Amino acid sequence: MLSELLQGIESGGFLIIRDSCSYSGRDLLKSFITAALNREEVIHVLCFDVSEEELKDGLKPSDTQRFHIHNAYSDPLGWTGHPNFTAQQFSLEDLTNLVKQTSQPKPAVLVIDSLSWILRHKTPPAVCQTLQQLRKGGAVRAVIGLLHTDMHQRGTVGSVCHLATSLISVAPGVKGKEAVARVTKRSKSGKVMQDEEIFCIAEDFTVTILSKASHAEHKTNSTEEEQADPTANLTFNLRLSDSELEAKQKLTLPFVFSKEKKTALLYPGPGSGRILYEPDANDDYDQEDPDDDLDV
């Protein structure tokens, strides 16, 4: 599924790459930039986390007119008075004007490196509102954002990720430069597809899928746990023998209607208003003096 996303994000799509301090998702972000440039798409990058030189390192765009980096790293809060782009300008109007400054007529792919910086200086509802507006089309065709999950509360991460049409969570692999990608993709019909793949990234930022992450061992253990008898090691027995089960089935439970009561209720006839009483074996009833129990 990771290869499918690298081949192109549909119009109105919003892809989030989730990383943490244990594994950086920036190289994968550069892989998506490289793949988009190879498809001759127009790319606009909001660069907050790293400098423009560091972001360009290793990228070899064939046409620099389609690749635009907006430097928000040197002055992200506008303290110098002449900022290129600031976190406070993260709004639909400002982003639309920024993208339309170029001469490219077709909608662009907006890359945000990273959403975490914007979330530190703008409220999550404001950021989510702008992202939702960008998804509706206009100057921006699709959005790709990098999100550092360990910098935010779980509710903030969940709110932003809920807007994404595709979500990639990256983690370090077992060997060398290998990494694990947990991919979630939501289609327009509402269908959710999930996959987990082991991949590596080459120096030119091409992605190679090594294998699907294996869950065979986990499934085997789960099956064994399901088949295990939970009553095997108890000091008392919860199961009934055949004779005990037969005796239980023959047992007459209290407060069960007799055939006479059922017939009277289902087929009422003359005298159906009479009270039916079945004497109990423990009843203390004296026929000679029925009022003996009354204190007169």
Whether the pLDDT of residue 218 is over 70: the answer is no
Q: Which two tokens stand for residue 12?
A: 């109105």
Tell me the domain boundaries of the chain: 1-212
Q: What is the pLDDT of residue 245?
A: 82
Whether the pLDDT of residue 93 is over 60: the answer is yes
Residues in the chain: 296
Instruction: Quickly tell me which residue has 């993260």 as its tokens.
Output: 90
Q: Which two tokens stand for residue 57?
A: 């390192």
- Tell me the average pLDDT across 28-44: 92
Give this prediction's pTM: 0.69
Cα-only R_g, the chain: 35
Average of per-residue pLDDT values in the chain? 82
211, 194 contact by CB (below 8 A): no
Whether the pLDDT of residue 142 is over 90: the answer is yes
Whether the pLDDT of residue 128 is over 70: the answer is yes
Q: What is the pLDDT of residue 236?
A: 67
Question: 223-253 pLDDT, tens per residue?
Answer: 444 455 665 666 666 777 788 888 888 877 6
- Confidence at 216, pLDDT banded by 50, 70, 90: very low
Express the helix, strand and coil content of the chain in percent, nearest 5 each.
35, 20, 45
What DSSP line would sit under 183-236, residue for residue?
EEEE-TTS-EEEEEEEEEE-TT--EEEEEEPP-HHHHHHHHHHHHS-TTTT-SS
- Tell me the average pLDDT across 96-115: 86
Whether the pLDDT of residue 285 is over 70: the answer is no
In whole angstroms, give the CA distance from residue 162 to residue 242. 55
Q: What is the pLDDT of residue 224?
A: 43
In whole angstroms, give the CA distance from residue 97 to residue 101. 6
CATH of 1-212, one of 3.40.50.300, 3.75.10.10, 3.40.50.1370, 3.65.10.10: 3.40.50.300
Cα–Cα distances in Å, from 217 out to 213, 220, 224, 228? 11, 5, 11, 17
Query: Cis before residue 114, ω within 30 degrees of 0?
Result: yes
